[in-house]
C-alpha cells in the first residue's frame, strides 16, 4: 500500500498500526435515536471520555447514515466550525447509540470527518483498555479484527459497486491488502486462543480432580460480582465502580472450605454482539461450567433497570449453557443501599426463579445464609457420622475423625460424632473403606 488509509470508522488497529488505547480526556458527541442513552454515556465516562452533547433525532434509523442526511450535515458543520469557546470545541469523536452497520459507520465518518464509534466499537475500546492478561488481549483483538473486517468489506463493496471512487488515497487493491493482513492475523490469534482455552480446561480438570466443587458468579457488569467473590474467598480482585472492571476469570477457594472453588468473571451487557461475547467464551465457560451458578443482581437499581439487567443475565446464561442441567440461584447484592428489595424479589419470582438471597458484600448482611445455601446446593442436607472406638490394637478413632475432616466441611463435633456437609459419593466410599468404624447416625 502506497499511502496509509486515513482513520476509518473504528478500524484503528488495522489501518493505522497500533490502535490508541487511552481515551482519557477525549470529547465526544453522541448521536441518539431510540432507547435510553444513559448506559452508553456511563460506558464512555468509564473510559474518561466526556460526552459534550447528545444529539437526538426522532424516527427510525436511516439505513445509510443513521441520522438523516441533512441532520448529519448539521452535526458535521458544527464540529468543523467549533472554534475555541464553542461548546463542541475539541470534539474528535462521534458515537452512535446503536450497533451500527458497516455502511452507517463508513458514511457517518465520511460526513463528520472525525473518528466514529458505535456501541460495539465503544465496548471494544473499553475492553482493550481494561484487558490485563495476554489471553484477554488476544480475545479482544479477535473481536476487534472481526469488527474491522466488516468495515473494510463495506469499503470494498462500495468501490466495487461504484458508490465510491477510492478511499483516503488507497484504492481497492490497498484495502484488499489490508483485508488479507487482517485474515492472516485472525488465523494466528485463533490458534493462540485455542491454546489458551486448552490450558484453561486442563487447569480446571486438575483443580476439580480431587472432588472439588465449583461455584460460578455471573451477572450484569458492575453488579457486584468481584465484591462478592472477595467476600466469600478473601482473594483480592479488582473492585471498581466502573463497567467491565473484570475481563478475565479468577478462580479462588471459598474461605470456609478449600474444596469449594469460586469463579469471578466478565459481566454481561445488553445487546452485546455475539461476536464480541464469543471471543470471551473460554473465559465465560470457566465460570458457567460449574456445580452452582450464582446470578448476581444489583438490588439498588430502579425496578425497571433491575428487570432489564436480570433478563439479560438470565438470557445470556441460558443461551450458553444447558438449562436443564444448570443449578442456578439468584443473589441480590448491595442490600445496604436501601433499594426496593420487595419489588426485586417479585421480579425474580415472576421470571420463574425461586426466592433470591439478599446480601451485602460491604456490611456482611445475608452472607451466612448465602454460605449455608451454597453448601446445601452443592451437598444436599448435612450428615452426621459416628466413629466407633474400636479395640485397642485397631487404628485410632482420631485417624478416622481426621479423614472425615478431609471429606467436607464439619460444622459440629461432639466427641466422635461429627456433623458435616460433604459429597455423598465420597462419603459412601470412605464408609466402605472404614471396616465398619464409620457409620451414618
Ligand atoms: N454499597 C455496596 N456497594 C457494593 C456492594 N457490592 C459491590 N459494590 C460496589 O459496586 C461497584 C461494582 O462492584 P464490583 O464488585 O467491581 O462489580 P462487578 O460485577 O465485578 O463489575 P465488573 O467486573 O465491572 O463487571 C463497586 O463500586 C463496589 O464497591 C455492596 O454489597 N454494597
Ligand atoms: Mg468484576
Q: Are residues 173 and 220 in the same domain?
A: no
Q: What are phi and psi of 347, to 5 degrees?
A: -60, -45
Q: How many residues appear in the chain?
A: 441
pLDDT surpasses 50 at 13: no
Whether 21 and 115 share a structural domain: yes
Q: Which residues contact 250 (CB under 8 A, 6 or more apart)?
A: 229, 235, 237, 263, 264, 265
Yes or no: say if 166 and 28 are a contact pair by the CB < 8 Å rule. Answer: no
Which tens digit of pLDDT belongs to each residue from 96-129?
Answer: 999 999 899 989 988 998 989 999 889 988 888 8
Domain's final residue, options 349, 379, 409: 379
- pLDDT value of residue 278: 73
Q: 407 and 346: one domain?
A: no
Q: Is 299 in the pocket of ligand 1 (CB under 6 A)?
A: no
Tell which atom from ligand 1 comes closest to the C-alpha of 227: 15
- Please indicate whether residue 362, judged by its CB atom, sits closer than 6 Å to ligand 1: yes
pLDDT per position as a tens digit, 182-208: 899 999 999 998 998 898 888 888 888
229 and 139 inside one domain: no
Cell output for 394: 485397631
Q: Average of pLDDT values for 152-171?
A: 68
Which pLDDT tens digit goes with each residue over 303-313?
999 999 999 99
336 lines ligand 1 (CB under 6 A): yes
User: What CATH number is given to the structural domain containing 331?
Assistant: 3.40.50.300
Q: Name which residue sits closest to atom 9 of ligand 1, judged by CA.
A: 224
Question: In this structure, which ligand is nearest to the CA of 361?
Answer: 1
Three cell numbers written together for 182: 487482517
- 410's torsion region: left (phi>0), alpha (psi -120 to 50) or beta? beta
Is there a single domain that holds both residue 369 and residue 332? yes
Could you give the angle at the alpha carbon of 276 between the alpha carbons of 123 and 204, nearest 5°? 115
226 and 346 co-located in one domain? yes
- How much is the mean pLDDT over the chain? 86
Exposure letters 31-40 (e unless 16+ CB within 10 A, then b):
bbbeeebebb
Q: Does ligand 1 lie within 6 Å of residue 223's CB atom?
A: yes
Q: How far is the CA of 341 from the centre of ligand 2 (A)?
A: 22
Q: Per the domain annotation, does 409 fall within a domain? A: yes
Residue 120 CA to ligand 2 centre (angstroms) = 20
- Quote the ligand 1 centre to 225 CA distance (angstroms): 7
The average pLDDT across 424-440 equals 91
Ligand 1 atom closest to Cα of residue 242:
24
Question: Ligand 2 center to residue 138 CA distance, Å?
Answer: 19
- 6 in a structural domain: no
- For ligand 1, atom 3, name the residue with the nearest CA: 334
Number of domains in the chain: 3
Amino acid at each position: 500500500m502506497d499511502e496509509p488509509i486515513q482513520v476509518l470508522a473504528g478500524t484503528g488497529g488495522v489501518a493505522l498500526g497500533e490502535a490508541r488505547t487511552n481515551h482519557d480526556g477525549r470529547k465526544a458527541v453522541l448521536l441518539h435515536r431510540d432507547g435510553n442513552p444513559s448506559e452508553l454515556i456511563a460506558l464512555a465516562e468509564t473510559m474518561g471520555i466526556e460526552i459534550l452533547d447528545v444529539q437526538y433525532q426522532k424516527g427510525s434509523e436511516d439505513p445509510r447514515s443513521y441520522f438523516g442526511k441533512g441532520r448529519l450535515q448539521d452535526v458535521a458543520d458544527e464540529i468543523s466550525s467549533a472554534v475555541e469557546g464553542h461548546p463542541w470545541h475539541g470534539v474528535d469523536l462521534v458515537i452512535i447509540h446503536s450497533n451500527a452497520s458497516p455502511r452507517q459507520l463508513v458514511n457517518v465518518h465520511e460526513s463528520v470527518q472525525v473518528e466514529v464509534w458505535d456501541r460495539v466499537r465503544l465496548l471494544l475500546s473499553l475492553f482493550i483498555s481494561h484487558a490485563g492478561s495476554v489471553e484477554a488481549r488476544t480475545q479482544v483483538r479477535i473481536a476487534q479484527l472481526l469488527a474491522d473486517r466488516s468495515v473494510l468489506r463495506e469499503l470494498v463493496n462500495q468501490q466495487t459497486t461504484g458508490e465510491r471512487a477510492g478511499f483516503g488515497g488507497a484504492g481497492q487493491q490497498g484495502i484488499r491488502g489490508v483485508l488479507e493482513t487482517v485474515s492472516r492475523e485472525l488465523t494466528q490469534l485463533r490458534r493462540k486462543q485455542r491454546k489458551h482455552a486448552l490450558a484453561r480446561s486442563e487447569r480446571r480438570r486438575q483443580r476439580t480432580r480431587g472432588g472439588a466443587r465449583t461455584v460460578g458468579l455471573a451477572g450484569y457488569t458492575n453488579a457486584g460480582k468481584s465484591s462478592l467473590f472477595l467476600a466469600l474467598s478473601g482473594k483480592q480482585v479488582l473492585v471498581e465502580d466502573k463497567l467491565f472492571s473484570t475481563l478475565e476469570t479468577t478462580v479462588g477457594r471459598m474461605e470456609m472450605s478449600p474444596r469449594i472453588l469460586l469463579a469471578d468473571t466478565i459481566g454481561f451487557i445488553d445487546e452485546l454482539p455475539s461476536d464480541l461475547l464469543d471471543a470471551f467464551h473460554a473465559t465465560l465457560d470457566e465460570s458457567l461450567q460449574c456445580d452452582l451458578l450464582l446470578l448476581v443482581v444489583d438490588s439498588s437499581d430502579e425496578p425497571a433497570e433491575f428487570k432489564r439487567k436480570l433478563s439479560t443475565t438470565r438470557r445470556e446464561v441460558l443461551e450458553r449453557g444447558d438449562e436443564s442441567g444448570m443449578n442456578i440461584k439468584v443473589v441480590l447484592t448491595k442490600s445496604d443501599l436501601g433499594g426496593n428489595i420487595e419489588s426485586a424479589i417479585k421480579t425474580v419470582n415472576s421470571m420463574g426463579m425461586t426466592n433470591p438471597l439478599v446480601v451485602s458484600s460491604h456490611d456482611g448482611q445475608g452472607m451466612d445464609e448465602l454460605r449455608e445455601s451454597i453448601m446445601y446446593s452443592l451437598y444436599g442436607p448435612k450428615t452426621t457420622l459416628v466413629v466407633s472406638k474400636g479395640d485397642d490394637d485397631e487404628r485410632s478413632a482420631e485417624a478416622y475423625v481426621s479423614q472425615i475432616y478431609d471429606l467436607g466441611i464439619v460444622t459440629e463435633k461432639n466427641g466422635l460424632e461429627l456433623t458435616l456437609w460433604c459429597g455423598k459419593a465420597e462419603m459412601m466410599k470412605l464408609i466402605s473403606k472404614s471396616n465398619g468404624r464409620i457409620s451414618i447416625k
